[in-house]
Protein backbone atom coordinates (compact mmCIF):
# COMPACT_ATOMS: atom_id res chain seq x y z
CA UNK A 1 0.00 0.00 0.00
CA UNK A 2 1.31 3.44 -0.98
CA UNK A 3 1.26 6.06 1.79
CA UNK A 4 1.36 9.81 1.29
CA UNK A 5 2.85 12.56 3.40
CA UNK A 6 -0.10 14.04 5.29
CA UNK A 7 1.54 17.46 5.12
CA UNK A 8 1.28 17.50 1.33
CA UNK A 9 -1.75 19.12 -0.27
CA UNK A 10 -3.88 17.30 -2.81
CA UNK A 11 -4.46 19.29 -5.99
CA UNK A 12 -7.23 18.20 -8.36
CA UNK A 13 -6.92 19.16 -12.02
CA UNK A 14 -8.14 18.41 -15.53
CA UNK A 15 -6.02 17.77 -18.59
CA UNK A 16 -7.48 19.41 -21.70
CA UNK A 17 -6.42 20.48 -25.17
CA UNK A 18 -7.43 22.81 -27.97
CA UNK A 19 -6.22 21.37 -31.29
CA UNK A 20 -3.26 19.74 -29.55
CA UNK A 21 -2.28 22.84 -27.54
CA UNK A 22 -2.49 21.13 -24.14
CA UNK A 23 -3.29 22.44 -20.68
CA UNK A 24 -3.47 21.57 -17.02
CA UNK A 25 -6.65 23.28 -15.78
CA UNK A 26 -7.15 24.02 -12.08
CA UNK A 27 -10.23 25.16 -10.18
CA UNK A 28 -8.97 27.75 -7.69
CA UNK A 29 -12.50 28.63 -6.62
CA UNK A 30 -12.97 25.47 -4.57
CA UNK A 31 -9.25 24.87 -3.97
CA UNK A 32 -6.96 27.36 -2.28
CA UNK A 33 -3.56 27.01 -3.92
CA UNK A 34 -0.79 29.43 -4.75
CA UNK A 35 1.46 27.75 -7.31
CA UNK A 36 5.03 29.04 -7.50
CA UNK A 37 6.94 29.20 -10.78
CA UNK A 38 9.17 26.39 -9.47
CA UNK A 39 6.17 24.09 -8.93
CA UNK A 40 4.68 25.01 -12.32
CA UNK A 41 7.97 24.10 -14.04
CA UNK A 42 7.95 20.69 -12.31
CA UNK A 43 4.31 20.04 -13.18
CA UNK A 44 4.85 20.99 -16.83
CA UNK A 45 7.66 18.48 -17.35
CA UNK A 46 6.43 15.82 -19.77
CA UNK A 47 8.71 13.11 -18.37
CA UNK A 48 8.46 13.61 -14.62
CA UNK A 49 5.32 15.75 -14.22
CA UNK A 50 1.88 16.09 -15.80
CA UNK A 51 3.13 17.80 -18.94
CA UNK A 52 1.49 20.80 -20.62
CA UNK A 53 2.06 23.89 -22.75
CA UNK A 54 0.22 26.14 -20.28
CA UNK A 55 -1.37 25.99 -16.84
CA UNK A 56 -4.84 27.55 -16.75
CA UNK A 57 -6.43 28.73 -13.52
CA UNK A 58 -10.02 29.83 -12.93
CA UNK A 59 -10.80 32.05 -9.93
CA UNK A 60 -13.72 33.98 -8.51
CA UNK A 61 -14.13 37.41 -10.04
CA UNK A 62 -14.16 40.45 -7.78
CA UNK A 63 -15.96 42.48 -10.44
CA UNK A 64 -19.76 42.23 -10.98
CA UNK A 65 -19.36 42.46 -14.77
CA UNK A 66 -17.44 39.18 -14.97
CA UNK A 67 -18.37 35.61 -14.12
CA UNK A 68 -14.80 34.41 -13.45
CA UNK A 69 -11.16 35.43 -13.54
CA UNK A 70 -8.89 33.50 -15.94
CA UNK A 71 -5.10 33.24 -15.49
CA UNK A 72 -2.49 31.66 -17.78
CA UNK A 73 1.01 30.43 -16.91
CA UNK A 74 3.55 29.16 -19.43
CA UNK A 75 5.48 25.96 -18.78
CA UNK A 76 8.42 27.97 -17.40
CA UNK A 77 6.18 29.46 -14.68
CA UNK A 78 5.77 32.93 -16.21
CA UNK A 79 2.28 34.43 -16.23
CA UNK A 80 1.06 35.65 -19.62
CA UNK A 81 -1.80 37.83 -20.81
CA UNK A 82 -3.72 35.67 -23.28
CA UNK A 83 -4.35 32.16 -24.61
CA UNK A 84 -7.10 31.64 -27.17
CA UNK A 85 -7.10 27.83 -27.17
CA UNK A 86 -7.01 27.98 -23.38
CA UNK A 87 -10.07 30.24 -23.30
CA UNK A 88 -12.15 27.62 -25.12
CA UNK A 89 -10.89 24.94 -22.72
CA UNK A 90 -11.68 27.10 -19.68
CA UNK A 91 -15.21 27.57 -20.99
CA UNK A 92 -15.72 23.83 -21.41
CA UNK A 93 -14.12 23.17 -18.01
CA UNK A 94 -16.56 25.55 -16.29
CA UNK A 95 -19.51 23.69 -17.83
CA UNK A 96 -18.17 20.18 -17.15
CA UNK A 97 -17.43 20.99 -13.50
CA UNK A 98 -20.84 22.56 -12.91
CA UNK A 99 -19.32 25.95 -12.11
CA UNK A 100 -21.77 27.59 -14.52
CA UNK A 101 -24.71 26.67 -16.72
CA UNK A 102 -24.49 29.81 -18.84
CA UNK A 103 -24.06 29.58 -22.60
CA UNK A 104 -22.28 32.94 -22.60
CA UNK A 105 -19.48 33.50 -20.07
CA UNK A 106 -17.66 36.75 -19.29
CA UNK A 107 -14.05 36.34 -18.15
CA UNK A 108 -11.54 38.86 -16.84
CA UNK A 109 -7.87 38.24 -17.65
CA UNK A 110 -4.56 39.73 -16.55
CA UNK A 111 -4.93 42.79 -18.79
CA UNK A 112 -8.16 42.33 -20.71
CA UNK A 113 -11.47 40.48 -20.89
CA UNK A 114 -13.05 37.70 -22.97
CA UNK A 115 -16.55 36.57 -23.87
CA UNK A 116 -17.01 32.83 -24.46
CA UNK A 117 -20.13 31.53 -26.21
CA UNK A 118 -21.14 27.91 -26.78
CA UNK A 119 -22.41 27.22 -30.29
CA UNK A 120 -23.89 24.08 -31.85
CA UNK A 121 -21.83 21.03 -32.84
CA UNK A 122 -19.58 21.42 -29.78
CA UNK A 123 -17.96 24.54 -31.20
CA UNK A 124 -16.94 27.38 -28.90
CA UNK A 125 -16.66 31.01 -29.98
CA UNK A 126 -14.46 33.52 -28.17
CA UNK A 127 -14.70 37.29 -28.55
CA UNK A 128 -10.99 38.18 -28.53
CA UNK A 129 -11.62 41.96 -28.51
CA UNK A 130 -10.10 44.41 -30.99
CA UNK A 131 -6.64 43.69 -32.43
CA UNK A 132 -4.11 46.27 -31.26
CA UNK A 133 -1.59 47.33 -33.89
CA UNK A 134 0.15 49.80 -31.57
CA UNK A 135 1.51 47.17 -29.16
CA UNK A 136 1.87 49.64 -26.32
CA UNK A 137 4.34 48.42 -23.67
CA UNK A 138 5.24 45.35 -25.77
CA UNK A 139 7.91 46.80 -28.05
CA UNK A 140 10.60 49.47 -28.19
CA UNK A 141 9.70 50.20 -31.82
CA UNK A 142 8.10 53.59 -32.51
CA UNK A 143 5.71 54.86 -35.18
CA UNK A 144 4.81 51.63 -36.95
CA UNK A 145 1.43 50.47 -38.25
CA UNK A 146 -0.25 47.29 -39.43
CA UNK A 147 1.98 47.36 -42.50
CA UNK A 148 5.24 45.46 -42.84
CA UNK A 149 8.44 46.52 -41.14
CA UNK A 150 11.91 45.02 -41.33
CA UNK A 151 13.91 43.47 -38.51
CA UNK A 152 17.61 42.67 -38.93
CA UNK A 153 18.46 39.05 -38.21
CA UNK A 154 21.57 37.10 -39.22
CA UNK A 155 22.75 40.24 -41.07
CA UNK A 156 19.66 40.17 -43.26
CA UNK A 157 16.42 42.15 -43.21
CA UNK A 158 13.30 40.11 -42.48
CA UNK A 159 9.86 41.54 -43.26
CA UNK A 160 7.38 41.20 -40.36
CA UNK A 161 4.09 42.59 -39.04
CA UNK A 162 3.16 43.20 -35.40
CA UNK A 163 -0.17 42.97 -33.60
CA UNK A 164 -1.42 42.31 -30.07
CA UNK A 165 -4.38 40.04 -29.34
CA UNK A 166 -4.02 40.74 -25.63
CA UNK A 167 -0.50 39.30 -26.07
CA UNK A 168 2.14 40.32 -28.63
CA UNK A 169 2.64 38.60 -31.99
CA UNK A 170 5.12 38.96 -34.82
CA UNK A 171 3.75 37.59 -38.11
CA UNK A 172 6.00 36.52 -40.99
CA UNK A 173 4.51 35.63 -44.38
CA UNK A 174 6.19 32.59 -45.99
CA UNK A 175 5.81 30.73 -49.28
CA UNK A 176 5.27 27.44 -47.46
CA UNK A 177 5.13 26.60 -43.76
CA UNK A 178 6.50 23.12 -44.41
CA UNK A 179 10.08 24.33 -44.76
CA UNK A 180 9.82 27.50 -42.68
CA UNK A 181 12.70 27.86 -40.15
CA UNK A 182 10.22 28.15 -37.29
CA UNK A 183 12.52 27.21 -34.43
CA UNK A 184 15.56 29.14 -35.63
CA UNK A 185 13.77 32.41 -36.42
CA UNK A 186 11.20 31.99 -33.66
CA UNK A 187 13.82 31.63 -30.95
CA UNK A 188 15.84 34.61 -32.17
CA UNK A 189 12.88 36.97 -32.67
CA UNK A 190 11.18 35.93 -29.41
CA UNK A 191 14.09 37.27 -27.33
CA UNK A 192 15.02 40.20 -29.59
CA UNK A 193 15.95 43.39 -27.76
CA UNK A 194 13.04 45.14 -29.49
CA UNK A 195 10.60 43.04 -27.43
CA UNK A 196 11.49 43.35 -23.71
CA UNK A 197 8.71 40.96 -22.66
CA UNK A 198 9.33 38.55 -25.51
CA UNK A 199 6.96 37.93 -28.42
CA UNK A 200 5.11 35.07 -30.13
CA UNK A 201 6.18 34.43 -33.72
CA UNK A 202 3.77 33.18 -36.39
CA UNK A 203 4.65 31.88 -39.85
CA UNK A 204 1.71 32.37 -42.25
CA UNK A 205 1.24 30.76 -45.65
CA UNK A 206 -1.66 32.34 -47.55
CA UNK A 207 -3.48 29.72 -49.66
CA UNK A 208 -6.21 32.10 -50.84
CA UNK A 209 -8.29 34.92 -49.32
CA UNK A 210 -10.29 32.48 -47.17
CA UNK A 211 -7.61 29.97 -46.16
CA UNK A 212 -4.19 30.14 -44.53
CA UNK A 213 -1.77 27.68 -42.98
CA UNK A 214 0.08 28.66 -39.81
CA UNK A 215 2.87 27.52 -37.53
CA UNK A 216 3.57 29.36 -34.27
CA UNK A 217 6.60 29.61 -32.02
CA UNK A 218 5.09 30.57 -28.67
CA UNK A 219 6.89 32.83 -26.24
CA UNK A 220 8.56 30.85 -23.41
CA UNK A 221 7.17 27.58 -24.84
CA UNK A 222 8.50 26.91 -28.35
CA UNK A 223 6.51 25.62 -31.31
CA UNK A 224 3.10 24.20 -30.35
CA UNK A 225 0.52 22.22 -32.28
CA UNK A 226 -1.81 25.17 -32.19
CA UNK A 227 -2.01 28.77 -30.97
CA UNK A 228 -5.43 30.42 -30.87
CA UNK A 229 -4.22 33.97 -30.33
CA UNK A 230 -1.57 33.35 -33.01
CA UNK A 231 -4.29 32.38 -35.50
CA UNK A 232 -6.19 35.55 -34.60
CA UNK A 233 -3.04 37.64 -35.02
CA UNK A 234 -2.18 36.20 -38.44
CA UNK A 235 -5.71 36.75 -39.78
CA UNK A 236 -5.86 40.27 -38.32
CA UNK A 237 -2.62 41.16 -40.13
CA UNK A 238 -3.88 39.60 -43.38
CA UNK A 239 -7.20 41.45 -43.26
CA UNK A 240 -5.56 44.75 -42.25
CA UNK A 241 -3.30 44.43 -45.31
CA UNK A 242 -6.27 43.51 -47.56
CA UNK A 243 -4.85 40.06 -48.27
CA UNK A 244 -7.66 38.05 -46.63
CA UNK A 245 -11.46 38.00 -46.44
CA UNK A 246 -13.38 38.80 -43.25
CA UNK A 247 -13.78 35.11 -42.40
CA UNK A 248 -10.75 32.83 -42.68
CA UNK A 249 -10.08 29.15 -42.02
CA UNK A 250 -6.73 28.72 -40.29
CA UNK A 251 -5.06 25.31 -40.57
CA UNK A 252 -2.56 24.64 -37.78
CA UNK A 253 -0.57 21.51 -37.02
CA UNK A 254 -3.31 20.34 -34.63
CA UNK A 255 -6.43 21.24 -36.63
CA UNK A 256 -8.50 24.17 -37.84
CA UNK A 257 -9.94 27.38 -36.42
CA UNK A 258 -12.33 29.89 -37.95
CA UNK A 259 -11.38 33.54 -37.42
CA UNK A 260 -13.80 36.37 -38.22
CA UNK A 261 -12.98 40.08 -38.18
CA UNK A 262 -14.86 42.90 -39.91
CA UNK A 263 -11.85 45.19 -39.73
CA UNK A 264 -10.65 48.18 -37.72
CA UNK A 265 -12.98 49.25 -34.93
CA UNK A 266 -14.57 45.79 -34.61
CA UNK A 267 -13.95 42.87 -32.25
CA UNK A 268 -12.36 39.69 -33.61
CA UNK A 269 -13.94 36.26 -33.08
CA UNK A 270 -12.29 32.84 -32.88
CA UNK A 271 -14.33 29.62 -33.26
CA UNK A 272 -13.08 26.10 -32.63
CA UNK A 273 -13.29 22.99 -30.43
CA UNK A 274 -12.02 22.14 -26.95
CA UNK A 275 -11.45 18.65 -25.56
CA UNK A 276 -11.38 17.20 -22.04
CA UNK A 277 -8.81 14.39 -21.78
CA UNK A 278 -8.93 13.26 -18.15
CA UNK A 279 -9.26 14.34 -14.51
CA UNK A 280 -6.58 13.66 -11.94
CA UNK A 281 -4.96 14.79 -8.74
CA UNK A 282 -1.44 15.24 -7.48
CA UNK A 283 0.10 15.75 -4.04
CA UNK A 284 2.20 18.89 -3.76
Binding residues, as ranges, are: 21, 54, 74, 84-85, 167, 200, 218-219, 228-229
- Told to judge if 83 belongs to the known catalytic residues of this protein, a careful annotator would answer yes
Q: List phi, psi (to 5°) of 49.
A: -125, -150
| Residue 208 buriedness (CB in 10 A; 0-12 / 13-18 / 19+) | exposed
Residues 6+ apart with CB under 8 A from 279: 12, 13, 14, 15
- Closest residue by Cα to residue 257 from 119, 125, 130: 125
- Told to judge if 28 belongs to the known catalytic residues of this protein, a careful annotator would answer no
Residue list for the binding site for substrate: 21, 54, 74, 84-85, 167, 200, 218-219, 228-229
The active-site residue, picked from 83, 89, 160, 232, is: 83
- Closest residue by Cα to residue 257 from 32, 19, 83: 19
Beta strands in 49-155 (DSSP E): 54-60, 68-74, 79-80, 104-108, 113-118, 124-127, 149-153
The active-site residue, picked from 89, 227, 232, 267, is: 227
Residues forming the active site: 83, 227
Amino acid sequence: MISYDKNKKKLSFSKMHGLGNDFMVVDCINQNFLLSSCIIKKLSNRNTGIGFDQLLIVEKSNHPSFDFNYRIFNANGSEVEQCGNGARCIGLFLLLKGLTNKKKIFLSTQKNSLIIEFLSNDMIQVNMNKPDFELKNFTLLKNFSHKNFSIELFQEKLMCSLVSIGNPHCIIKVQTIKNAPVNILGKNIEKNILFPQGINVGFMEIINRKNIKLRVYERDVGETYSCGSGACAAVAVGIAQNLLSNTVKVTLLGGQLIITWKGFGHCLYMTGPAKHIYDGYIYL
